[in-house]
């Protein structure tokens, strides 16, 4: 039986081989799409011809994002596409950093972004909750005085949005230890999608501004993260991107470890690392 089901058993080897085959096939399709985009552009890749060919080859709605003269294309992996046609999903960070699958918060670790909540914004976050402790599972948020706004998991395992301390809606019941892609957009109307499915759209008035930085995996309360005031998170974060009012990318966060093995998020837009602003340390996922 151990020969069949153990860590090195036949079933595990078959599962690993299947996953590796699927990953190799996806990489080859992306490379073909890039080559086709070069042909379409007569030797030049641009965002339009690249996304057109990615859609043709992979039959997906996901689009490549242009940042710092390179494109990033996200499936279960994040691919970097250079303007010379090179495709890579490993070694996409500077040499001092090692990419990992996720960073995990144990309730007291979080990242503070450079994006200020003084105008509408948008974010995409890939996250997996490991606990449903009420108000200790914040995906992202911001606060200044009493004007708090955060997106979280409540004690009924439902995704909720709070604005100025008022729970606006329960929109989606999730399972713990399951990975979700969450898109939140507060331009004009609120819009929330989970795993590419639109879950909520509404004409909520967005006049209230926190005028404070947006945090990932936490939200301060009454202007304070400490002394039990702030909302935190028990979760694994695999990826996050943030956009400003004009839909310009402000951050693409990739989980990683630096040369001293400190777990952090590396931002592909600002080309710098963002470290834990709470206590303790993030748990590192496996290296990619």
Domains, the chain, in order of start with CATH, read 2-88 (no CATH), 98-284 (2.60.120.200)
Q: How far apart are CA 191 and CA 206, in angstroms?
A: 12
Residue pair 127/139 in contact by the 8 Å Cβ criterion = yes
pLDDT-wise least confident of 8-22, 51-65, 105-119, 269-283: 8-22
Q: What pLDDT is stored for residue 22 in this prediction?
A: 84
Average predicted confidence (pLDDT) for the chain? 83
Tokens 């990318």 identify what position?
249
Q: What pLDDT is stored for residue 202 in this prediction?
A: 73
Q: What pLDDT is stored for residue 108 in this prediction?
A: 87
Q: What is the mean predicted confidence (pLDDT) over 216-227?
A: 72
More confident residue, 51 or 204: 51
Q: Residue 125 pLDDT > 70, yes or no?
A: yes
Q: Answer whether 0.75 is exceeded by the pTM.
A: yes
More confident residue, 206 or 96: 96
Q: Which residues of 212-229 are buried (b: 16+ CB within 10 A; e: fewer)?
A: bbbbbbbbbbeeebeeee
Model confidence band, residue 9 (pLDDT cutoffs 50, 70, 90): low
Q: What pLDDT is stored for residue 37 in this prediction?
A: 95
Q: Residue 10 pLDDT > 50, yes or no?
A: no
């Amino acid at each position: 039986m151990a020969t069949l089901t153990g860590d090195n058993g036949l079933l595990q080897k078959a599962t690993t081989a299947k996953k590796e085959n699927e990953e190799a096939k996806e990489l080859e399709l992306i490379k073909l799409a890039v080559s086709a985009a070069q042909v379409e552009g007569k030797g030049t890749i641009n965002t339009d011809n690249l996304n057109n060919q990615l859609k043709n080859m992979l039959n997906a709605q996901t689009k490549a994002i242009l940042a710092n003269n390179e494109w990033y294309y996200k499936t279960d992996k994040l691919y970097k596409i250079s303007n010379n046609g090179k495709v890579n999903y490993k070694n996409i960070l500077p040499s001092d950093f090692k990419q990992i699958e996720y960073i995990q918060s144990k309730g007291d670790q979080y990242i503070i972004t450079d994006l200020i909540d003084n105008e509408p914004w948008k974010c995409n976050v890939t996250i997996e909750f490991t606990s449903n402790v009420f108000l200790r599972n914040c995906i992202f948020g911001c606060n200044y005085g009493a004007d708090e706004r955060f997106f979280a998991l409540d004690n009924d395992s439902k995704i909720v949005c709070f604005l100025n301390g008022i729970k606006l809606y329960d929109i989606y019941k999730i399972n713990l230890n399951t990975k979700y892609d969450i898109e939140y957009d507060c331009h004009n109307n609120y819009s929330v999608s989970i795993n590419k499915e639109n879950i909520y759209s509404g004409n909520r008035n967005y006049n209230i501004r926190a005028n404070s930085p947006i945090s990932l995996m936490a939200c301060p309360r009454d202007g304070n993260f400490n002394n039990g005031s702030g909302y935190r998170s028990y979760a694994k974060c695999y990826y996050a991107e943030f956009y400003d009012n004009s839909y310009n990318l402000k951050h693409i966060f990739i989980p990683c470890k630096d040369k001293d093995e400190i777990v952090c998020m590396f931002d592909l837009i600002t080309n710098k690392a963002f470290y834990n602003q709470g206590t303790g340390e993030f748990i590192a996922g496996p290296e990619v």
